[in-house]
Amino acid sequence: MAILPLVIAPDPRLKTRSEPIAEVTDEIRRLAADMFDTMYYERGVGLAAVQVGVLVRMMVADVEWKSDGEKGTQWVFINPEILSSSEEPHLYKEGCLSFPEQYAEVERPQSVRVRFTDLQGQRREENFDGLLATCVQHEIDHLNGVVFVDHISRVKRDIILRRLQKMKKQGVISHREHHPYQDHGDHEHVHGEHCNH
């Protein structure tokens, strides 16, 4: 298990389409474990392999974990693809571990059906809605070289990227202390007022 260094925007790797995984090997399982360790350490709820510099189509998620260390359902998605999505949209204030301290409201389908391979090499189909659906769509975007700021206006996107570039040059990049997805309705933390992830 290891905490892996994050790829921070702007970085060309975040705009690169990741390659499919041909076989679920022990190396892939170790990478998934390291990605979970990194995600929890950085207080995220989802992480794509490209965000730790590995350009393969794998992502992990746990939108239920608590700041006291209690973990929720751990999802590993290998070669995921969205089969269908609801017409009903939902607006979340999203953040991203590769965009520390930056947030933007992004509209996505409320629910999705996803096909993916799990760590046992089994091909599965699952339905997701709410926060987990948003997280899954956000991370699949990463695998396709798309980042959440691509869903907002060019002006807002350029402001965020310039801000990050300046932070990187000054060496003051620090990762957020709050939940990366917030409901548009009240912008409170999803897990309540005392939640800090």
- Tell me, what CATH number does 151's domain have? 3.90.45.10
Q: pLDDT for 2-42, tens place per residue?
A: 999 999 999 999 999 999 999 999 999 999 999 999 999 99
Does 1 fall in a domain?
Answer: no
How far is it between the farthest Cα atoms of the chain?
A: 45
Per-residue pLDDT band at 174 (split at 50, 70, 90)? low
Compute the half-sphere exposure of residue 36: CA atoms within 13 Å on the CB side of its CA.
18
Does 6 fall in a domain?
Answer: no
Does 66 fall in a domain?
Answer: yes
Q: What is the mean pLDDT of residues 55-82?
A: 94
Does 77 fall in a domain?
Answer: yes
What's the one-letter identity of residue 59? Answer: M
Lowest mean pLDDT among 26-30, 88-92, 125-129: 88-92
- Write down the catalytic residue from 107, 126, 139, 177: 139
pLDDT at position 70: 85
Domain that holds residue 54: 12-183
Residue 184 has pLDDT above 60, yes or no: no
Residue with tokens 């298990």: 1
Does 193 fall in a domain?
Answer: no
CB atoms closer than 10 angstroms to residue 99: 24
Does 131 fall in a domain?
Answer: yes
Domain count of the fold of the chain: 1
Does 196 fall in a domain?
Answer: no
Q: Is 125 a catalytic residue?
A: no
Q: pLDDT for 137-165, tens place per residue?
A: 999 999 999 999 999 999 999 999 999 98
